[in-house]
Structure 1
């Protein structure tokens, strides 16, 4: 079984994913991390990114994440172009990951843009992590050492929590006072019954 895990930037998806990893025989695929790795290691992706975004896209053979983020999070067409370059490779890698982890209780597919890039079709169940926007902004400003405006631009490029929630089987609320582990355990027990 493949369980999608999504949520807006700063919602705490990765924290939730790591908690699922600790409580059961669960394999977790972190799509964002794998995409970043592929953008540095895949010559096919690197060539296409350079062609679309110019030589500034890479510095000393490493992805210039700040430059790419500035371009794509202020231009929806550029974001769609980047996703169309990276997503097919991530998809291929994810299929192999699922195959390699057939012995697990389930595979958790952590993906910030699960709905936006149509990856939800790969999932048997979907969990959305939500948090108040002000908390999300604080988390990302602190984590990425970025500006509030930059975070708001990224939030604008993602679906609203309410839209994701309508298409999800489970919702986890991850504000500071929420009992995160209880929510995770309840869902894990439900998935493994």
Structure 2
């Protein structure tokens, strides 16, 4: 079973690409979604997060994402601290996911910070999703109710597309939905036949 890393900058459309692989019945692990779930359900993680970021980290026993985001997106050290608390738990969870799907031809491992946190080392092949900057900004403003400045600040903190593309085995440029489907299908067939 191969692990196929799927990454791309914020607003590039990697979640849409992940869903297209799911439609092809490929087991797909969305690291961000799983991390949020673990942060909401693991008592051990809750304790560590509250200890390091304060009682406001949780509201009504649920992760207060806005509160935490305001802290970590404005302080690189705090972001690294949060990642050092959360990533080991997500990694353990992903190992179980891999074990449960070991008989599949391949699985998709979607992770926005695949290269930044070293998860690319877990992957046999890597797909990078790109999109024009204006489209990305527009999508994130619509999705997160953010301002253009907030989106640009988040983009600025991510690894540039050029570097991701250099490290990729496949690059999907997200322009139209029909093109996207064809590109995913082409990669899917190549992965099944290699």
Which segment drifts farther, 150-159 or 171-180?
A: 171-180
TM-score (norm 2): 0.95
The match for 2:15 is 14
TM-score, normalization by structure 1: 0.96
Gaps of 5+ in 2: none
Gaps of 5+ in 1: none
1:103 CA drift (Å): 2.0
Structure 2 Cα separation of the partners of residues 156 and 79 of structure 1: 15
Whole-angstrom distance in 2 between the partners of 1:93 and 1:177: 31
The residue that corresponds to 2:70 in the other structure is 70
Give the secondary structure class of the aligned counterpart of 1:137: helix
Cα separation, partners in 2 of 1:126 and 1:56, compared to 1, 3 Å: same
Contact 1:76-1:157 within 8 A present in 2 as well: no
RMSD (Å), alpha carbons: 1.2
Moved over 3 A (4+): none
Shift in Å, 1:75: 1.3
Question: 2:83 aligned with 1:83, yes or no?
Answer: yes
Partner residue, 1:54: 54
- 1:182-193 maps to which residues of 2 (within 5 A)? 182-193=182-193
- Aligned equivalents of 2:128, 2:88: Cα separation in 1: 23
The farther-off stretch of 116-125 and 182-191 is: 182-191
What count of residue pairs does the alignment treat as equivalent? Answer: 192
The equivalent residue for 2:165 is 165
Task: Give me the whole-angstrom Cα distance separating, in 1, the residues matched to 2:191 and 2:117.
Answer: 24
Q: Deviations over 1:47-95 (max 9, x none)?
A: 1111111111111111111111111111111111111110000000000
Q: Does 1:151 align with 2:164?
A: no
1:111-190 matches, within 5 Å, as 111-176=111-176, 179-190=179-190
Shift of 1:133: 1.5
Distance in 2, matches of 1:177 and 1:47, equals 42
Aligned mates of 2:45, 2:115 — CA distance in 1: 22
* Contact 1:74 1:153 (8 Å CA) reproduced: no
* Residue 4 of structure 1: aligned partner: 5
CA distance in 2, matches of 1:166, 1:115: 11
